[in-house]
Amino acid sequence: MIRLKSIGDAIPPVHRDGWPFIVGTVAVASVFAFVFPAIFWLLLILAGWMAVFFRDPERVVPTAPGLVVSPADGRVEPIVRAVPPPELELGVLRLTRISIFMNVFDCHINRSPVAGRVARIAYKAGKFLSADLDKASEANERNGLVIESEGGLDVGVVQIAGLVARRIVCWTSGGAGIGAGQRIGMIRFGSRLDVYLPEGSTIVAAAGQRAIAGETVIAMLPGTTLAPPFPTRRD
Taken in order 70, 137, 127, 45, the sign of the CA dihedral is: negative
User: Which structural domains are found in the chain, ordered by start?
Assistant: 7-53 (no CATH), 60-234 (2.70.70.10)
User: What positions carry a catalytic annotation?
Assistant: 191
Report d(CA 111, CA 141) in Å as an integer: 19
Please, are residues 145 and 172 in contact by the beta-carbon 8 Å criterion?
A: yes
Q: Which residues contact 29 (CB under 8 A, 6 or more apart)?
A: 39, 40, 43, 44, 47
Give the pLDDT of residue 10: 58
What is the reported pLDDT for 6? 42
Q: Does pTM top 0.75 for this prediction? A: yes
pLDDT mean by block of 10 residues, the chain; 235 residues: 45 79 87 85 87 86 93 95 95 96 88 96 80 69 93 94 75 92 85 94 95 96 84 83
Beta strands in the chain (DSSP E): 60-62, 67-69, 74-76, 80-82, 95-102, 109-111, 116-124, 142-149, 154-160, 167-170, 177-178, 183-188, 191-197, 202-203, 210-211, 217-220, 232-234
The pLDDT, as a whole number, for residue 22 is: 85
| 23 sits in which H/E element | helix 19-31
CA 137 to each of CA 80, 159, 203: distance values in angstroms, whole numbers, following the listed order? 12, 9, 20
